[in-house]
Amino acid sequence: MIKILAVDDDPHLLETIVIQIEEEGGYEIKGAASLEEARVMLPEMDPDLVILDVTLGDGDGRDFCRWIRDTGYTIPVLMLTAQSSEMDTIDGLEAGANDYIAKPVRMGELIARMKTNLAQHQAREDARITIGHFHFFNSRKTMVHIATGEVINLTEKEAAILKHLHQMRNHVVDKKTLLEEVWGYGDGVTTHTLETHIYRLRQKIRMVDDAPLLLTTDGGYRLA
């Protein structure tokens, strides 16, 4: 499940953001009412995206964004601002923000921008993607168990299977489509080849965590 940290000292807006994103489904979101609280929650939660107000009672969100980048996080940061000048936007982007959303916040726009930035980030080869109880690094061809830090080394095809299933999360990917996406249209590749790779990938995952992750359903596969 994708994890989101929202930081805003307006309790009504923060509650609205949390409720609306929870209702969207597929997201775990927590709210912080101050930068001090967010600074504690960030490493504990290890989110996939941060929604951050520019102006908070205990500091400037842009300074916090710089701290996020200095700490080594590459996750998307969406900044909420009532300030609309070009220089304010430039300052935020230079601080490491990925996007700016003007107040009053329209929830439809916020959720759409959130999805776009997540998709762009996850398409990067060096992105860290949360899949179940693991962080998946496509560039390294590894999965890291979040609770224990145990590493699973993947083959190129296993990593490609995970990447495509994650891109199509909440949808079943039929075997033919997955074969075409991972192996291309070459001759001699059958569904048995795919089934063998899925079996081996499941075995690797179960050695570390027995929670179901790769599901077989309706003639295809999807992530739990």
Per-residue tokens: 25 = 């489904």
| pLDDT per residue as tens digits for the range 136-159 | 988 889 999 988 999 999 999 999
Answer whether residue 197 shows pLDDT above 90: yes
| pLDDT per residue as tens digits for the range 206-219 | 999 999 999 998 88
Residue 105 DSSP label: P
- Domains identified in the chain and CATH numbers: 2-123 (3.40.50.2300), 128-223 (1.10.10.10)
Q: What is the mean pLDDT of residues 100-119?
A: 92
Answer whether residue 36 shows pLDDT above 60: yes
Amino acid 167: pLDDT: 80
Q: Report the 10 Å Cβ neighbour count for 148.
A: 10
| The overall pTM is greater than 0.75 | no
Q: pLDDT-based confidence at 224, cuts 50/70/90? A: confident
Answer whether residue 204 shows pLDDT above 90: yes
Spatial distance between the Cα atoms of 105 and 201, rounded to a whole number of angstroms: 42
